[in-house]
Amino acid sequence: MSTAPRIEPSRVVIIDDTADLRELLRMALDRGGFEVVAEAGDGRAGIEAVRETRPDVVLLDLSMPVMDGLEALPSIRRLAPQARIVVLSGFGATQMSARAMAAGADGYVQKGASLTSILDYVRAVTAGGPVRAPRPLSVVPEPPSTAPEEPDQMTDDAGDTLTVEEETSPRPTVHAPDTSEPTQPPIGAHVSSWEALGMAPYGVLELADEPLFRVVYANTVAQRLLVERCAPGTPLSLVAPQLAGPVAFHRLDGDASFEIVLPGGAARATLRRTGWSVLVYLDSASDDVGLLRRAIATTAHEIRGPVAVICGIAETIGWAGADLDAEQRDRLMTSVARQARMLDSITADLLTAAQIQRGTLRIDLQTVDPRSAIESVVADRYDVTLRVEDERLVRADPLRFEQMLTNLLGNAQKYGAAPYTVHVRPDGDLVSIDVVDAGEGVPEEFRASLFGEFSRAHGTVATGTGLGLYVVRTLAEAQSGRASYAPGPYGGSVFTISLRAC
C-alpha cells in the first residue's frame, strides 16, 4: 500500500537586528507551518547563516549594524539563488522597495504590518505569482475634517498622511491691548532681563561696538544657529565669519535687516544699536518648519520598529495567549518594556530638541553619584563593563545625565560593536565618563558634524533620528560640561561626557 509523500515545510532564515521582532516572526512562522532554521542580527552574520543552511525563504531587514540589508542582499542571492527573499523595513515603500527589488529581493514589507498579513504575504511570495504587500498599521491619526484651521500636512514615502501637530502647549490666545493702569507683579514672579532673553524664541546676540565685535552675550537659540561655542569675549569672526562681514557693513545703519545662512540654518538678522553695543536678532522662524518636517521624516522609521514589536506582541497574545507558557509570557512582557523604553528615548530627544530650539531648556543641577547613576541605567538594558577610577560626585541634572548616557549607549549598540565599556576617570576639575565600543569608529570626514542637529553619516541604511548626539552635547554644555568624540586607541569609538566635580 503506497503512502503520499511527506511535504517538508519551507525553511526560513530571519535576519533582523531586533531580537524581540525575530522572536515574534519565529512564532508566527511556526504557527504558519514554516521551519525557522537560523536567525542573525546583522547582514554579515545573515550571509553566514544562509551559507550554512541554504534556506527556502529569507526575511531580511534593511536597517542593521555591521552590514545593512541592501549590502548583504546580493551575496544572499548568490548563495541561495532559488530562495525567496522578502525584505522587511520601516522605510517608505517607494523609497526603498525599488532598490531592494533591483538588488535581488522577491518582495517588500513595511514594518508595522500585522504578523498575520506578513505571514500571508510570505506564503504568497513562496507560492509564486503576483502579490500585494501588506500596508503598515497607521500610528498617526488623520486630522479631524471639522477643524476650523487645517494643520500643515505632508506624506511619507508610503503615501500615509503625517500631521504636523503643534507643541503640547495650546496655541496662545491673542487679546486686545490692555489700556488699564499697570499693576504691580506678584512677589516671586519677577524674571530678570537675562532670563527673558534666554527664553526668547529667536536668537539674541549682543556684540561689543568695536572693530572685532567681541561676543558679550548669546542666548540659546543664537548658540544653536551659530553652532560654535560663543564664550564672552570671543571675536565674532571666529564663531561666525559669515555674519561678521554684514554686521560690520551695517553697523552704522539705523534699521538694518538682511538674510543670512548660518551653520545652524537660515535666518533673518536685524541690527539694533545701544549706547555701547550692537544687538543682532536672529529670526529662524522660516527654517523652523523645515526642521520640524525633517524631525518627522527622520523619526518615522525609528518609531515604526518599536511600534511593530509592541503591536506584534499584542497580536500574538490574541491568537496564542492560551498556549503560551509562563516563560514565553515573561519574555514578551520584557520585550514590551524594552521597546517602550526605546520609544520613550526617542520622544525625550524630540522634546529636548524642541526645548533647545525655543530656548526653554531647563536644567535642575543636583549632586549626582556617577557610579550609582550608571549602574541604574545599565542594570537591565545593556551588557557593559563598568570601570570606575574616580569616585567623586558631579553637579548634574539626574534625569538629563541618564538621557545622555542612554543616548551614548544606544548609539554604541547601533553603530559600534561589543564589547562595550563605561569608564569613569578623573579629568582635572571634571569627571569624564567614556562610553567605549569596539566597532569601526566614525569616518574621519563625518567627525566635524558628528554632534550637529539631524546629522547622519552617509552610505548606510541605519540612519537613526540624527538627534541623539546633538542632545548629548547640548545637555552637557548646559550643565557646564562638554561632550566629545575620539577614535579608540585600538579601533572603535570613545564618546565622552565631562561634568564638573563637586
CATH number for the domain spanning 61: value is: 3.40.50.2300
Q: Is the pLDDT of residue 445 over 70?
A: yes
- Residue 193: inside a domain: no
Q: Which residues contact 23 (CB under 8 A, 6 or more apart)?
A: 331, 335
Q: Is the pLDDT of residue 293 over 80?
A: no
Burial letters for 233-250: b for 16+ Cβ neighbours within 10 Å, e otherwise? ebbbbebbeebbebbeeb
Residue 35's H or E segment, with its range, is: strand 35-40
Contact (CB, 8 A) for 50 and 4: no
Cell readout for 251 is: 553697523
Domain count, the chain: 4
Main-chain phi, psi angles of 5, to 5 degrees: -60, 140
> Would you state the pLDDT for residue 190?
46
Distance between CA atoms of residues 288 and 171, nearest Å: 16
Could you tell me the residue range of the domain that residue 304 belongs to? 287-358
- Residue 378: inside a domain: yes
Distance between CA atoms of residues 284 and 453, nearest Å: 15
Same domain? For 97 and 36 the reply is yes
- Residue 138: inside a domain: no
Beta-sheet strands, E only, within 156-264 = 161-163, 203-208, 215-218, 256-262
Query: Higher pLDDT residue, 96 or 419?
Result: 419
Contact (CB, 8 A) for 276 and 208: yes
For the segment 379-389, what is each residue's pLDDT rounded down to a tens digit? 867 889 999 99
9 CB burial (10 A radius; 0-12, 13-18, 19+): middle
The one-letter code for the residue type at 41 is G
The one-letter code for the residue type at 411 is N
- Among residues 235, 259, 283, the one where a domain terminates is 283
Beta-sheet strands, E only, within 284-400 = 366-368, 384-388, 394-396
Query: Higher pLDDT residue, 296 or 360?
Result: 360
Same domain? For 263 and 300 the reply is no
Same domain? For 488 and 371 the reply is yes
- Residue 264: inside a domain: yes
Query: Higher pLDDT residue, 119 or 182?
Result: 119
Q: Is the pLDDT of residue 162 over 50?
A: no
Helices (H) and strands (E) in the chain — how many of each? 14, 19
Q: Is the pLDDT of residue 141 over 70?
A: no
- Among residues 127, 150, 179, the one where a domain terminates is 127
DSSP bridge pairs for 206 = 217, 279
Cβ count near 252 (within 10 Å): 10
Residue 328's H or E segment, with its range, is: helix 326-358
CA-nearest of 494, 283, 452, 486 to 353 is 452
Q: Which CATH number fits the domain that encloses residue 370?
A: 3.30.565.10
Same domain? For 277 and 377 the reply is no
Same domain? For 21 and 118 the reply is yes
> Would you state the pLDDT for residue 150?
41
Same domain? For 402 and 472 the reply is yes
- Among residues 127, 144, 179, the one where a domain terminates is 127
Q: Is the pLDDT of residue 461 over 60?
A: no
Beta-sheet strands, E only, within 220-344 = 256-262, 265-273, 277-283
Query: For 298, how many CA atoms within 13 A lie in the half-sphere containing its CB?
Result: 22
Distance between CA atoms of residues 220 and 290, nearest Å: 19
- Residue 90: inside a domain: yes
Distance between CA atoms of residues 104 and 115, nearest Å: 24
- Residue 197: inside a domain: no
Distance between CA atoms of residues 309 and 318, nearest Å: 14
Same domain? For 229 and 299 the reply is no
- Residue 166: inside a domain: no
Name which of 98-102, 205-209, 332-336 the model is least confident about: 98-102
Give the distance from CA 403 to its chain's centroid. 12
Q: Which residues contact 328 (CB under 8 A, 6 or more apart)?
A: none
Q: Which CATH number fits the domain that encloses residue 354?
A: 1.10.287
Same domain? For 40 and 85 the reply is yes
State the chain's mean pLDDT as an integer.
Answer: 79
Q: Tell me, what DSSP letter sits at residue 448?
A: G
Same domain? For 264 and 295 the reply is no
Provide the percentage of residues in the chain whose pLDDT is more than 70. 76
Q: What is the mean pLDDT of residues 265-272?
A: 86
Contact (CB, 8 A) for 408 and 435: yes
The one-letter code for the residue type at 26 is R
Distance between CA atoms of residues 243 and 251, nearest Å: 12
Same domain? For 268 and 320 the reply is no
- Residue 38: inside a domain: yes
Q: Is the pLDDT of residue 185 over 80?
A: no
Hey, CA dihedral for 485, 489, 493, 498, is it positive or negative? negative
Same domain? For 352 and 370 the reply is no
Q: Is the pLDDT of residue 420 over 90?
A: yes
Q: Is the pLDDT of residue 428 over 90?
A: yes
Same domain? For 222 and 299 the reply is no
Q: Which CATH number fits the domain that encloses residue 218?
A: 3.30.450.20
> Would you state the pLDDT for residue 199?
64
Cβ count near 456 (within 10 Å): 15
Query: Higher pLDDT residue, 132 or 49?
Result: 49
Main-chain phi, psi angles of 349, to 5 degrees: -65, -40
Query: For 125, how many CA atoms within 13 A lie in the half-sphere containing its CB?
Result: 25
Provide the percentage of residues in the chain whose pLDDT is more than 90. 31
The one-letter code for the residue type at 227 is V
- Per-residue pLDDT band for 103 (boundaries 50, 70, 90) equals confident
- Per-residue pLDDT band for 274 (boundaries 50, 70, 90) equals confident
